[in-house]
Structure 1
Amino acid sequence: MLLLVNVILTLWVSWARGQEIACDPPRIENSQYISKRTNYRLGDTITYYCTSGFFPSSWGNTAKCTDKGWDPPPRCSLNPCEFPEIKHGLLYNEETYRSYFPAPIGQWFYYSCDENYVTPPEKVWHYITCTQDGWTPEVPCRRKCIFNYLEHPHSPPQEQRYLQGQSITVTCPWGYSFPNLQRTVTVTCTEKGWSSPPTCIQHCDMPIFENATATITGKPFRPNDTLDYQCLDGYENEDGNSLGSMVCTENGWSHLPTCFKSADKCGPPPAISNGAITSLPLEVYPPGSRVEYQCQAYYELRGPKYVTCSYAKWSELPSCIDPCVISEKIMSEKNIELKGKDDKTYYVKTGDIIEFVCKSGHRAVTSEESFQAVCLEGTVEFPRCE
């Protein structure tokens, strides 16, 4: 047990000494740096100043003590520029030029930028130059942001291009807002793209309630937000309940609350002869409900096509008028046949015209006009031949 404690203590002392003494004072030629300490710990930094005519590294005149020594290595020389880092770009013929560094003042090299990044003059190629303050341009490649993806935009009205550092004010149209419920925000083109890519989403304002109440917050609702409402005493919604809820969707509220007096609802729509409604019948219809009627084949609808529930009663109903039946038996008795059609049972809607002719070997007994008969609500006057 004692041996284990000694080992741990030895390791801790070794680690502590390593923390206390990590870097010796650097020797920097052509520098006014004065060493004020005999050793430095990890993370300590120094600042040095070069004598006249000499320049520090383009990485700066500060260095940090690391487990590998001073970083970056402090120096003062006639050539101030280290190998340039073209972030989001590439130095032309890079491997060949590595032997040129450190580079003297005035030395320049061509470079190009990656996709979605541009040089300051916005050309494919540009040059970076060594100065006494380091490389210029300081930011060789700037991000290019395109404003062309915003859904439901109000401004800007069309595709525009912005460079790193530039900002733009974006406005959503009425009925839309950003996630923070603002209609206008300012975004900036950064190295990684837009600072906060804006998205206009539709919001829902507080609806106007009729015969119902709800908690009023005064703030617009975001998609998927739910609003609960309660019908007034003596009123109910379409489901027959006094409580209901509605959901804010990307297209507005899922539905608007409809609360009506229980005594004003209607039962199933009345049945009519040879016709029916086009939808499945319900047991209860709230006031204002409307249904559509249609007739069976060949029957003619007469009256209103749509019927509305009002104060527990349905409005005027339509009727279905009988068609005319032209049978082969009747035509045989009259010695006539249909013009241009087979001698089979034929159904005609009211108001339609039917043309007849005499059968072969027979002549007309009735007037010529009678051979163009009109169907009138299920009846027709047939011509006759003998």
Structure 2
Amino acid sequence: MLLLVNAILTLWVSWAHGQEITCDPPIIPNGDFAPKMNQYGLDDVITYRCGNGFYPPLIGNKTECTVLGWRPRPRCVLKPCRFPEIKHGRLLHGNTSKYFPVYVGRSLLYFCDYGYTPPSQTSLAIMNCTQDGWSPVIPCLRKCSFKSLKHGYSPVTEERYVQGQTRTVMCHLGYGLQNPQNTMTCTETGWSPPPTCIPVKHCDMPIFENARAVITGKPFRPNDTLDYQCLDGYENRDGSTKGSMVCGKGGWSHLPTCFKSADKCGPPPAISNGDITSFPLKEYPPWSRVEYQCQAYYELRGPTDVICSYGKWSKPPRCIDPCVISEEIMNEKNIQLKRKDNKRYYVKTGDTVEFMCKSGHKAVTSKESFQAVCREGAVAFPRCE
């Protein structure tokens, strides 16, 4: 109502003084418009477009100069979320349409099917459109219950869990879960492994490689320990020549990993414009993995990590050079950046840079050349004269 009163007063004042109603050029972050003028008259219409990853918030991309200014207000918003498909649930009827975009910041109401629950564990929940997509990522979580356990210790009362939660299970002596651990996790399909205690066999004497048992005995009961000694010239990953393993419900905790000292690797290979992500060591045991990362604006090409094998590292990755866009080069070509200032900046390999001619100059290269692609430190600049 206040806007309408102001508009009427503006019209009256303009009529009384014989002044024409005009609009200044709009400011559209992340967008551009045409035609460009210093001033626009009443009912003038402009067309605007948004940059990569941004979209007009309404259907259409035109705006008109009115007594209230530019209407509808031109603006560019982040990429909308796709119509949500809720596994094991549904949207509340009538709160959106498949054919209408959902923009960042909007919320939708939904509910889950029987046996599933939202993370909030309420009957009706909210999902939000964010820059990274819908949140929560998993709208409906499976519900699991635990109340009885044959050949094991049951809870006093029924316990309830949701997808992702873990519960420790205690089986009677000689029994265990299907996996070597004593925990089960609530998954989309229910408990994994199922809350069932099955008979667990004893541990037999393992087959050693590059090691021998200190004390032999057969069979080994759960929780029994077996010590082993590496053969001459061999050692463990920690550099020692001795170790021990424990008989568990699913078998031995681990098997000896004795290797030759000559199979160790020295420091990982150095790469240009990059380094490893962990603190470097003087020596690395066989089958060690080391991860690499590149400096800012450099693109990692090849495997992310290297592996130590028989005293040698696998081939490391490379860090691909970015393209340098400088003001000096653009001045030589009579060009400028389309949506940035002309200061020096860096572009990753594969990214596109948009140029335009400077004022008073015309293009002498193709239209496609003004959308140049950075290729391993090199970019083909367009030219204007």
Larger radius of gyration: 1
State the TM-score, normalizing by the size of structure 1.
0.46
State the TM-score, normalizing by the size of structure 2.
0.46
